[in-house]
């Protein structure tokens, strides 16, 4: 069954180009030039991934991303002509999984789409995958429990004090990696390359933005960090 890709961009040439390249890869495309029509599609159709332009004529991409994330957890890639870090961080804070700045190479977009879909399906049990090699610190376990936080890799479910944590696949992957390395300090570089499967670049704020969003969902105060603790100049850790 073909995977469904949602494209939302008011630049007709960009939207058409993305549709052409992704259709050639076998994806079924839902293409819109306005956000409200796209939201109607999300509620009526099965969507596996969305490409959202930041600047839309009716509602901006930030609002569109925020609305989608209230009910859906499929990957979202933001597309924008803006290059400021604050725009990127805002998108990631609202639940976007990746961010691309125009102009971009359509082949790179295709590659990013494939990466996000592979990760999404993997963490939702849609791929069989290979068995993990046994590793220390419980990394071969399927479920971990840390001070009221329970996280299950097989079912992709996480609860905190028996209440569900609504994490995106990317957020789940980050939290699982930190939990499975409990007691260790994980650098931003290590975390990024382990989760995103891409080379880490200096001044990359992606990890920081996602950590902050996970903390908000866990009600983990930045000033009183109970679970994910920042080790300044080094990285992040979940203490034993």
Q: How confident is the model at residue 112 (pLDDT cuts 50, 70, 90)?
A: confident
> The whole model's pTM is what?
0.61
Take residue 209 and report the two structure tokens written for it: 């933005």
Q: How confident is the model at residue 180 (pLDDT cuts 50, 70, 90)?
A: very high
For the chain, percent of residues with pLDDT exceeding 90: 35
pLDDT of 128 reads 36
β-strands 228-231, 163-164: how paired?
unpaired
Give the CB-side neighbour count of residue 123, counting CA atoms within 13 A.
25
Helix crossing, 85-93 with 61-69: angle to 10°? 20
| pLDDT tens for each residue of 7-58 | 999 999 999 999 999 999 999 999 999 999 999 999 999 999 999 998 889 9
pLDDT of 202 reads 64
Are 39 and 76 spatial neighbours (Cβ–Cβ below 8 Å)? no
Q: How confident is the model at residue 137 (pLDDT cuts 50, 70, 90)?
A: very low
149-152, strands of its sheet edge to edge: 143-146, 149-152, 157-160, 163-164
Give Cα 136 to chain centroid, integer Å.
27
Between 177 and 223, whose confidence is greater? 177
pLDDT of 24 reads 95
β-strands 235-238, 228-231: how paired?
antiparallel
Q: How confident is the model at residue 127 (pLDDT cuts 50, 70, 90)?
A: very low
């Amino acid at each position: 069954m073909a995977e469904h890709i949602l494209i939302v961009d008011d630049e007709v040439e960009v939207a058409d180009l993305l549709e052409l390249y992704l259709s050639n890869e076998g994806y079924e495309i839902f293409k819109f030039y306005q956000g409200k029509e796209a939201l109607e599609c999300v509620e009526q159709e099965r969507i596996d991934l969305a490409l959202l332009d930041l600047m839309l004529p009716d509602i901006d991409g930030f609002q569109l991303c925020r609305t989608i994330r209230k009910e859906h957890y499929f990957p979202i890639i933001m597309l924008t002509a803006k290059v400021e870090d604050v725009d990127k961080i805002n998108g990631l804070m609202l639940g976007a999984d990746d961010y691309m700045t125009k102009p971009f190479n359509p082949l790179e977009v295709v590659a990013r789409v494939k990466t996000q879909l592979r990760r999404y399906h993997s963490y939702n049990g849609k791929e069989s995958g290979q068995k993990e090699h046994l590793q220390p610190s419980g990394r071969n376990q399927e479920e971990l429990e840390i001070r009221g936080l329970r996280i299950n890799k097989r079912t992709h479910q996480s609860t905190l004090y028996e209440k569900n944590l609504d994490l995106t696949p990317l957020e789940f992957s980050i939290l699982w990696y930190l939990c499975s390395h409990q007691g260790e300090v994980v650098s931003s570089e290590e975390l990024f390359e382990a989760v995103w499967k891409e080379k880490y670049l200096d001044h990359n704020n992606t990890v920081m933005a996602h950590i902050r969003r996970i903390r908000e969902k866990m009600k983990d105060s930045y000033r009183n960090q109970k679970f994910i603790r920042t080790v300044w100049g080094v990285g992040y850790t979940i203490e034993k």
